[in-house]
């Protein structure tokens, strides 16, 4: 079969997911029907405002948060920057902790804050990517003011014990920020139940629209605007509202509320299908991360004797789209910071390849992808 005649198989959902049909329909309908600015008082403006508020309500229901707690933003990267920088601005003697495996939109902000003179600490992980809660207790006793930890890691799929972390943080008098972007649609995300102070979200990893997200703020807490120039979102996020994206966000959040449990079960079946098909055809494959607490849709695999970049390029030619880590660092010649933080040497870290899929990924595609991966890996090993 020639390269051009092969069906493309998309296994990079942790970078961005395929649009849900309901989201596509909502986006198209909003583009056709909504002409007003959501801040205008005329009928067209109020129709746009209604779309934005429906999105806010849908997000709040999907994650079990009060509607007024939801601040719509341009995405999780913006939200992460806003929460962290706002905390430092308003907190005397701020001491910010984040994990060494955070998304760059947290890790790089914390690095910049450190360069600006803010006290920061990086929470280490072990070889499986698991956090040491004893380390956190020691730092909390030393006066940490904010802990930033992702609910699920975008590269390994590791799920962190958010409710337990939040309890420890609160007992020490500090606050907790959680980036839950990768968890949405894969595991249950309960803002109120987990006791989170600030949560940042983007829905495009689970089939929602790009370019829109949210900060969710616990009652009694506030978040100031990152930018200046408008009073939208009650002064917390200036700029004309993206009404079409809000319509898509509403559709995605509604689907999440309806189907999250079903999607989670589906992903477990698909994971088993993919792993069995791959490991049945290829030896020398190492699963990285912690299988005991890992997203079912995410597999970080290292292939013995093969450079990850070589494998990714060859797979792309064979019609399989995968990645080596965060899309925000694509093109970097450096190995994944997540795998390095887990204690792997650079040469070992470069062998990691991430495969991620969604509930809409057909099982037969995963079996076919496993066959292509095995063939390419055997060929690379021979070279």
Domain boundaries, the chain: 3-19+259-382, 21-256
Asked if residue 71 lies in contact with residue 217, where contact means CB atoms within 8 angstroms, the answer is yes
Query: pLDDT at position 1, please?
Result: 42
Query: pLDDT at position 237, please?
Result: 85
Higher-scoring residue by pLDDT: 255, 41: 255
Fold of 21-256: 3.40.640
Asked if residue 27 lies in contact with residue 247, where contact means CB atoms within 8 angstroms, the answer is yes
Paired strand residues for 338: none
- pLDDT 10s digits, 100-109: 999 999 999 9
Collapsing DSSP to helix, strand or coil, 22 comes out as helix
Q: Is 98 a catalytic residue?
A: no
d(CA 233, CA 2): 52
Query: pLDDT at position 41, please?
Result: 87
Query: pLDDT at position 239, please?
Result: 84
Q: Please state the rounded mean pLDDT for residues 210-232.
A: 90
Paired strand residues for 99: 123
- pLDDT 10s digits, 128-140: 999 999 999 999 9
Q: Please state the rounded mean pLDDT for residues 303-309.
A: 95
Query: pLDDT at position 57, please?
Result: 98
Query: pLDDT at position 225, please?
Result: 83
Q: Give the E-state strand segments of the chain in sequence order.
A: 9-10, 70-73, 95-99, 119-123, 146-148, 175-179, 198-202, 213-217, 285-288, 298-303, 320-321, 352-356
- pLDDT 10s digits, 47-99: 888 999 999 999 999 999 999 999 999 999 999 999 999 999 999 999 999 99
73 is written with which tokens?
């933003």
**pLDDT-above-90 percentage for the chain:** 86
Least confident of 23-37, 177-191, 298-312: 23-37
Vertex 363: Cα angle to 311 and 6 (nearest 5): 50
d(CA 182, CA 203): 9
Query: pLDDT at position 77, please?
Result: 97
Collapsing DSSP to helix, strand or coil, 30 comes out as helix
Does residue 247 surpass a pLDDT of 90?
yes
Collapsing DSSP to helix, strand or coil, 174 comes out as coil
Q: Please state the rounded mean pLDDT for residues 268-281.
A: 98
Average pLDDT, the chain: 94
pLDDT grade for 331, boundaries at 50, 70 and 90: low
Q: Please state the rounded mean pLDDT for residues 249-272.
A: 97
Q: Please state the rounded mean pLDDT for residues 174-200.
A: 98
At which residue do the structure tokens 């898509």 appear? 248
Task: Please state, as a whole number, how many other Cβ atoms lie within 10 Å of the Cβ of residue 370.
Answer: 23
At which residue do the structure tokens 């080596």 appear? 324
Nearest of 130, 128, 197 to residue 169 by alpha carbon: 197
Collapsing DSSP to helix, strand or coil, 46 comes out as helix
At which residue do the structure tokens 């997203």 appear? 295
pLDDT grade for 238, boundaries at 50, 70 and 90: confident
d(CA 339, CA 105): 17
Least confident of 83-87, 164-168, 180-184, 227-231: 227-231
Least confident of 129-138, 215-224, 328-337, 371-380: 328-337
**pLDDT-above-70 percentage for the chain:** 96
Residue 16 CA, distance from chain mean position: 9
Query: pLDDT at position 4, please?
Result: 52
Task: Please state, as a whole number, how many other Cβ atoms lie within 10 Å of the Cβ of residue 147.
Answer: 26
Does residue 2 surpass a pLDDT of 50?
no
Domain 3-19+259-382, CATH class in plain words: alpha beta
Of 98, 114, 273, 328, which one is the catalytic site residue?
A: 328
Q: Please state the rounded mean pLDDT for residues 236-243.
A: 85
């Amino acid at each position: 079969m020639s390269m051009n005649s092969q069906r493309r198989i998309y296994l990079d959902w942790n970078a961005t997911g395929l649009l849900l049909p309901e989201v596509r329909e909502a986006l198209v309908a909003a583009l056709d029907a909504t002409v007003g600015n959501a801040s205008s008082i005329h009928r067209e403006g109020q129709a746009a405002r209604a779309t934005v508020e429906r999105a806010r309500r849908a997000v709040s229901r999907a994650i079990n948060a009060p509607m007024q707690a939801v601040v719509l933003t341009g995405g999780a990267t913006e939200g992460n920057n806003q929460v962290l920088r706002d905390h430092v601005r308003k907190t005397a003697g701020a001491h910010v902790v984040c994990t060494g495996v955070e998304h760059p939109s947290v890790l790089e902000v914390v690095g910049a804050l450190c360069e600006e003179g803010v006290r920061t600490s990086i929470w280490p992980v072990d070889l499986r990517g698991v956090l040491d809660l004893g380390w956190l207790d020691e730092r909390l006793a030393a006066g940490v003011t904010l802990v930033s930890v992702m609910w699920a890691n975008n590269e390994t799929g590791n799920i962190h014990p958010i409710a337990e972390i939040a309890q420890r943080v609160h007992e020490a008098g500090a606050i907790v920020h959680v980036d839950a972007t990768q968890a949405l649609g894969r595991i249950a995300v309960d803002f109120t139940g987990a006791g989170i102070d600030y949560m940042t979200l983007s829905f495009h990893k689970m089939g929602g629209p790009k370019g829109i997200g949210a900060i969710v703020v616990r009652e009694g807490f506030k978040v100031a605007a990152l930018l200046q120039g408008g009073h939208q979102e009650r002064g917390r996020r200036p700029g004309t509202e993206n009404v079409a994206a809000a319509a898509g966000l509403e559709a995605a959040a509604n689907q999440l509320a309806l189907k999250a449990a079903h999607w989670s079960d589906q992903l477990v079946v698909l994971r088993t299908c993919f792993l069995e098909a791959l490991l049945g055809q290829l030896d020398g494959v190492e699963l990285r991360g912690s299988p005991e607490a890992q997203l079912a849709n995410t597999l970080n695999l290292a292939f013995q004797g093969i450079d990850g970049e070589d494998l990714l390029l060859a797979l792309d030619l064979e019609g399989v789209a995968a990645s080596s880590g965060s899309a925000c660092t694509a093109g970097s010649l450096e190995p994944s910071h997540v795998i390095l933080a887990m204690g792997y040497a650079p040469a070992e870290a470069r062998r990691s390849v991430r495969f991620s899929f969604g509930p809409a990924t057909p099982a037969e595609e995963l079996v076919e992808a496993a066959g292509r991966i095995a063939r390419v890996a055997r060929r690379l090993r021979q070279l």
